[in-house]
Amino acid sequence: MRYDYMIVDVFSDVAFGGNQLAVLTDARGLTTEAMQLITREFNFAESTFVLPPDDPAHAAKVRIFTPARELPFAGHPTVGTACALVMAGAQPAGEFVLEEGVGPVPVTTRKDGELYTARLRLDRGPERPESVASAEDMAAVLSLPASEIRDVFGSGMGVNFAFVEVASSEAVDRSALDHAAWRRVLADSWGSQVYVFAGELRKGGEIYARMFAPGFGIAEDAATGAAAAAIAGAAGLRHGRDLAFDIRQGVKMGRPSLIRASARVEDGKVVEIGVGGATAFVATGQIEVPDQLLARG
């Protein structure tokens, strides 16, 4: 059986930048095994599969896969799928809700001429680990001198990350994942995904980042919305006030992306996190799925 798909580039306003995403806009009948195999076939950081919602008031249910596993939530697949549904005429631009593994995720979409943008909203604060790796261990993971590590902390919004602040954007670019050190320090830890950044986590600030996720089958990610949500939540808790900042990612890979992240804080608690950006159309097509990978009935 043939299934329609779209390819979009997320957190970029032009094609061939940002983070690639394959969206199967009607995935009814596909088994979980089929979704995983299709994701490996596209070999993007993530692919999404759109299904009818459990709650008819919502727009759709979305399942998100990396080449190695299914995720309960991810930012660039949420933003990209929302824009793809508007591009395909399946949803009008505006606000609607996508059902994901973490629960309902409200998304606000806009269409300005040929420019499509979306912003997801999470109405809660981040999860934090009880402990994190030492600066020395994280320096070894990133193949950097320990003197260049400024801070290490963990934060997650359905997907957990080890965040490493370094002294400069040049240090970010010099980072190289040492897989032996990663296996020793992070592979079985609370947050095995490594997000290295430099810049200002403040209102009106900008950070420059890279993200490595070998546990998800992702050597390096061009734009990581789930990490943007998690670091915005962590920054909101740290500063105790509302803030919004930009994230530049994917530059070293030749796929520059721009993510806009925000956190709203009330009484010292993060009550809302937002992540948004543009999505560019790339292609449509069909994929043939063998009958043995379809759900019976």
Cα separation, 234 vs 128, in Å, equals 8
Answer whether 176's CB lies under 8 Å from 143's CB: yes
The DSSP element (H or E) to which 99 belongs, if any, is strand 95-100
Which residues is 258 bridged to in the sheet?
248
The CA-atom distances, in angstroms, between 172 and each of 26, 34, 105, 120, 151 are: 39, 37, 31, 27, 13
Are 144 and 175 spatial neighbours (Cβ–Cβ below 8 Å)?
Answer: yes
Distance separating alpha carbons of residues 185 and 196, to the nearest angstrom: 15
Please give the backbone phi and psi of residue 71, each rounded to the nearest 5 degrees, phi first: -115, 145
Please give the Cα distance from 47 to 279 (Å, whole number). 15
130 is catalytic: no
Among candidate residues 41, 46, 200, 272, the one labeled active-site is: 46
Task: Give CA separation, 122 vs 69, 103, 257, 269, 295, in Å.
Answer: 23, 10, 21, 13, 32
Cβ neighbours, 10 Å, residue 292: 8
Query: Where in the sequence numbering do the catalytic residues fall?
Result: 46
